[in-house]
Every structure is written in C-alpha cells, then in structure tokens.
Amino acid sequence: MKIEKPVYYGDYLQLPKILNAQVPESSKYGKPAHDETLFIIIHQTYELWFKQILHELDSIREIMGKPFVPSTDLSVINSRLERVTTIQQILIDQIRIMETMTTLDFMEFRDYLVPASGFQSLQFRLVEATLGIKPEHRMEIEKQFFNSRLKPEDRKQLEMAEAKISVFELLEAWLSRMPFSNFNGFDFWGEYSVAVDKMLKQDHEIISTNPGLSDQLRTMELKNLEMTKETFATLLDADKFAAWKAQGKVRLSQKAMFSAVFIFLYRDYPALQMPFKILNSLTEVDEKFTTWRFRHAIMVQRILGTKIGTGGSSGHEYLKSTTERNRTFLDLFNLATFLIPKSITPELPVSIKNQLDIVYDSFQS
C-alpha cells in the first residue's frame, strides 16, 4: 500500500472545525456568560456519542437482519452492544460535569436559548427509534412537541427511521426462529409447567405454615402468590398471552418469550452463553438509558426547580415521566418472573444436551 501523503493530527480530526464550533448566544448580546461554553461542549459531546451509538446499532441491525445469523456473528453483536453500554456510562457521568453549573450560572444565558431544547435532538430520537420505540409507544405530549419543535426535514428523517425495522423487531424474529418451543419427543414446556406447579405449591406451603406471619400478612402473601400463578399461566397459554399482548403488557411474541426464558434457564450451556450475553446486554442498554433519563431529570430539577423547560415542556416532570415510559426491552427485565430454581429445572434429554454442549475435555482411562 502506497501512502499518498503524511496525515497531520489536527487535519485528520478536523480540529479547526470542532474547536471553533462553540458560539455562545450570550456573546451576541454583549455579555458572554462564562458557563455557556461548558453547556455547548457538553451537548456537542452528547451528539458525537449519539452518532457513535447509531453507528453501532446500525451495524447490529444489518447483522441481525439476515435470514440466518451465524453463531460467529453473535460475539460481534455482543461486543458492539457492550461498546454502546460503555458509551452510555460516559453519558451518565457527564451529568456530574453539568451539575458543576449552578442555577444562577444557567440563568445568565438560559433565556437566549428559547425555544431550543433536547426535544430537538434528532439523533437521540433516531437512537430510540432504532432500538424499537415507535410513535405508539410515546406519550401524546412527546408527539406534539416533535411535530411542533422539529424542523420539517428532521421530522421526515425521524418518520423514516421509525418505519425501518428496529433492533427490537429483529430480536423478536431471531428468538422466534429458535427451536426451543418444540423438541421432537420431549415436551419441555409441559415439564416446565409441572416444575412451576411444584414451586408454587412449595411457596403456598411455606406461606400457610409460617408462624411469623399475621393473618393479614398471610392473606396478602397468598393473594400475591395467586397473581404469580396467573402470570405463569398466561405465559403458557396462547390465548391468554395474546390478550396480554393486545393490552400492551408484553411486546415480544409468545414464541420469542419462550426462547428467551429457555436461554436464561440453560445459559450455562456453551451454545446458549452468547445468546444470553446478547439478551443481558440489551437489558443493560435499556437500564443505562433509564438511568441517564432519571439522572437528567434530577439534574434539571436541581437547576430549574419546577420552571418550564426552554422547549416549553414541564421540565423535570416531563423528563421523569419518560424515565419509565420509554423503555424498549422491558420484556427482558420481566424474564426474571418466569425463572425457577435450578434444583427443579427440567432435566434435558441427552440428545438435546449434546446439541447445546461443546466437549473440549475427554476422559482418559
């Protein structure tokens, strides 16, 4: 390979563009606010990291969009998800830098920014859409603000992103293709149902005979146990699960949920370790964005109190409401509901174990 010409550090990184991209609004009014430079740099850094997250998610979407995802690609998917979660931790930590700015510092330039706001971060909306947050998952106030605050060209780009297949949808298709819902000659889910029934009966016995519970607490515990029993019954019954999905209580299909539960139960088998890591990494992506939203909401309350945001939202209250609402992989969090102790987990037939296992060692007589 012949090098055309030497590369200079500043030119390669286009530092003149980047380092001259901070233009405080307050300077235009004759009195530059010292902290506005920090405010600009923090948000520019966020946008650069959002660009990298989109780069990683788009590559994951390309891999998972294939009709068949080779096992050799699974580690690539997971390593890129782990890169995303590492970046997310930086996003969370950056809030500590922002919090070095006091309320009075912010008030020196805040009014110059109206009506600009985080609502207009197209890239963050693209990240959400790429992960799997569709318009029907958003609060009505969000839709109104997007329609009124985004430029027409940005709104069109967001709509195009929302129309594309998301990581969530690709995950559901991938899980649904897995053969864990039906094994020839072995009714795993029938065995699982028996194990669940055994576990619930043990729990009922413990609650009923526990001398440390008052009658009131015992009644409450037994009522909660009945709710747990109904939750398991819903997972295993196609009609009940369909009703659950129609009510928005779950997003994954029953078959995809079956595969996810199976992966979690038997994650120690080599063939399932990487699928388990991918599910775990997606859960962490959701967790870290939830943490970031919450920390952002607390920061806004600390700096603004109950003031209206620069974009016209209710500020802290709006941000707090999105913390729980805008979660893509809530079904993966709820998988813990359907896990049972290893001691009663159904024993897999040897033929299935052999498919999931990899033998590196051999017995030497």
Quick check: is 7 in a domain? no
Question: Which runs of consecutive H residues, i.e. helices, occur in the chain?
Answer: 9-12, 15-19, 36-64, 71-98, 103-107, 122-131, 140-149, 152-163, 167-177, 188-209, 215-236, 238-246, 254-265, 270-304, 316-325, 330-333, 350-356
pLDDT score at 359: 64
Is residue 175, in this structure, part of any structural domain at all? yes
4 in a domain, yes or no? no
CA distance 285 to 291: 10
Question: Mean of the pLDDT values across residues 344-357?
Answer: 91
- What is the structure's pLDDT at 297? 85
pLDDT classification of 146: cutoffs 50, 70, 90: low
My answer on whether omega of the bond before 115 falls inside 30° of 0, hence cis, is: yes
Residue 275's pLDDT is 97
pLDDT over 90 (residue 140):
no
For residue 79, what pLDDT is reported? 98
pLDDT, mean over the chain: 90
* pLDDT of 66 strictly over 60: yes
Note down the domain range covering 145.
Answer: 22-356
8-22, 76-90, 208-222, 301-315: segment of lowest average pLDDT: 301-315
Q: Is the predicted pLDDT of residue 137 greater than 80, yes or no? A: no
Report the share of the chain in percent with pLDDT over 70.
90
The Cα 147–Cα 162 span in angstroms is 14
Domain count within the chain:
1
State the pLDDT confidence band at 74, using cuts at 50, 70 and 90: very high
Residue 189: its pLDDT value, please?
94
Summarize pLDDT for 228-278 with one digit per residue, the tens. Answer: 999 999 999 999 999 999 999 999 999 999 999 999 999 999 999 999 999
Please give the full DSSP string across 72-94, using - where no structure is assigned: HHHHHHHHHHHHHHHHHHHHHHH
249 is a domain residue:
yes
pLDDT for position 238: 96
Q: What's the rounded mean pLDDT across residues 336-354?
A: 93
In a domain, 10, yes or no: no
Kindly indicate the confidence band of residue 163, based on its pLDDT and cuts at 50, 70 and 90.
very high
Paired tokens of 91:
């996003």
| Residue with the larger pLDDT of the pair 4 and 148 | 4
Higher local confidence (pLDDT), 356 or 303: 356
Rounded CA gap, 309 and 136, in Å? 24
pLDDT, one tens digit per residue, over 168-189 is: 999 999 999 998 877 778 899 9
pLDDT of 312: 45
Amino acid at 258: F
Prediction pTM value: 0.90
The pLDDT-based confidence of 81 (bands split at 50, 70, 90) is very high
Instruction: Tell me if 52 is assigned to some domain.
Output: yes
In a domain, 362, yes or no: no
Other beta carbons within 10 Å of 112: 16
* Confidence grade of residue 313 (pLDDT, cut at 50, 70, 90): very low
Residue 17 lies in a domain: no
Which is higher by pLDDT, 312 or 10? 10
CATH code of the domain in which 85 resides: 1.20.58.480
Question: CA-based diameter of the chain, in Å?
Answer: 87
**Predicted confidence (pLDDT) at residue 323 exceeds the cutoff of 80:** no
